[in-house]
Structure 1
Amino acid sequence: MNKRLTAAQLILVITILVASQSLAAKEKGYPAIPLLSTETTIVGESIAYPTTGQAKVTAAIVTLAPGEKTILHKHGVPLFAYILDGELSVDYGNDGIRIYKQGDAFMEAMSVSHFGENNTSQPVRILAVYMGAEGSENVIKMTQ
């Protein structure tokens, strides 16, 4: 087993422990409230980290204006998403359409092609945290 995969597993274990103990921790002065604890993506895929390359986490704010949509894409790495503002509709093809609203947290689909669309009159802002490795693709453009 390589060191990067071991580190990813350790991070997952720590995250689960922190989330499971957050209420007790809050009472002891640590103000953590869990957003998400899962082993699968939003469409039921097992979360799988890249097995080669130096671990690399990238965080970004994705903003879609009213009526704007993303390209059709997949993800080469696990992606934690948190809706900061607005509402996002994501079309997963055969896996259906899901609507995410402010405060929703999820692990995005990796192997299922999808696109997001803002069908409202307000901007949508998403915190996107890609948990990958040097050389892996966070977003992979699909051609239908």
Structure 2
Amino acid sequence: MRSAFAACLLSAMALTPASAGEGGFAKPTLVIEQPVAGMPSGSAQSVRVLTATFKPGDRTVPHTHRYPVTVYVLEGAFTLEVKGEQPVIVKAGEAMVEPADSEMIGYNRTDGETRVVIFYLSKPAEPFLDAMK
């Protein structure tokens, strides 16, 4: 279960390419490592890698996730407001883990586009998010 999630994260990390003709090896750079609770259990999990682009002022719907979500910011800055907690701002090249079962809204509060890659590990066929009513 965790190995599938770790493999997903490793595949998305920036790799330093070797110069042409050098025949070197790419070396991954650790972006984030964080213990998390609430990961799915069972013999099979579904790994999802999603992308999202937020124009200035865009936001997510108010929602929760059943399992933790990892967000990597490619461009711009992403602000996450989790109910009862201080807002978190994640900038390009940084990552964060969104907690499971917490009400939240994500925003682009910059003047430019924000692009993110989202990693989600869940039980098969479970939704990515549950919109708040």
**Superposition TM-score tier, normalisation by shorter sequence:** 0.7 to 0.9
CA distance in 2, matches of 1:74, 1:129: 15
Segments of 5+ residues of structure 1 without an aligned counterpart are: 1-7, 19-27, 41-45
In the alignment, residue 37 of structure 1 is paired with which amino acid? E
Alignment correspondent of 1:114: 104
Alignment correspondent of 1:95: 85
Match of 2:40 among 50, 53, 72: 50
- Give TM-score, length-normalised by structure 2: 0.78
CA distance in 2, matches of 1:64, 1:30: 31
Spell out, residue by residue over 1:41-68, the C-alpha distance to the aligned partner (whole angstroms, 9 max, x if none): xxxxx2x222357311111111111111
Instruction: Report the identity percentage.
Output: 19
CA contact (8 A) 1:87 1:100 kept: yes
Larger mean CA deviation between 96-105 and 52-61 belongs to: 52-61
In angstroms, what is the RMSD of aligned CA positions?
Answer: 2.1
Report the number of matched residues.
Answer: 118
Spell out, residue by residue over 1:82-136, the C-alpha distance to the aligned partner (whole angstroms, 9 max, x if none): 0000011111121121111111111112121110111111011110011112122
Match of 1:29 among 25, 28, 46: 25
CA distance in 2, matches of 1:108, 1:70: 13
CA distance in 2, matches of 1:66, 1:102: 15
